[in-house]
Amino acid sequence: MGKLLEISTKSNLRSNKALRSCLPYKQAVTVGITFTVEDMQKHVMVKELIKKLELDGKKTTVMCYLPHDKVNYEFLFDFFSNKDFSFFGKLTSSKAIDFASTAFDYLFYLDTEPNPLILNLLARSKAKCRMGKFWDEGEPFFEFMLETTSDTKGLIDGIYRYTSILH
């Protein structure tokens, strides 16, 4: 699926005509969060971020990628997996497609290394402002990238800190 997924992702990037903008944090209402399931520690960090966002009055929606060898802790978050992609690299999960079709005010991508399956989701995304960790080829996927330490906590803290001060 590798090369076909890459072709599908590039096609999604080209055809995506979503309006992009970066709202001031106080005006933002909806936040999408996506990440790759790794371990319980990352799961807890995401839940803490959600709590902060909800205390700030934001409505959050989460869509995670669940690798075949990982556990979906607590079944708290919606997820998609390899099975949700066709042979040709097209996303088939209705929940993931709905997530990508939602015009979130912000969409946070919380992986420290790019995951090609989530990049496909980001390429389809109608979010107004997509945010994630900086890497050289990341520009087409984000409106805002953070050059940060390589750990998840630093990325999550940085994204929250920088978005919460946007005016």
pLDDT tens readout for residues 21-37: 999 999 999 999 999 99
The three-state secondary structure class of 10 is helix
* pTM assigned to the model: 0.95
- Asked if 106 contacts 28 with a C-beta cutoff of 8 angstroms, the reply is yes
pLDDT tens readout for residues 42-81: 999 999 999 999 999 999 999 999 999 888 877 789 999 9
C-alpha span between 131 and 33 (Å, rounded): 10
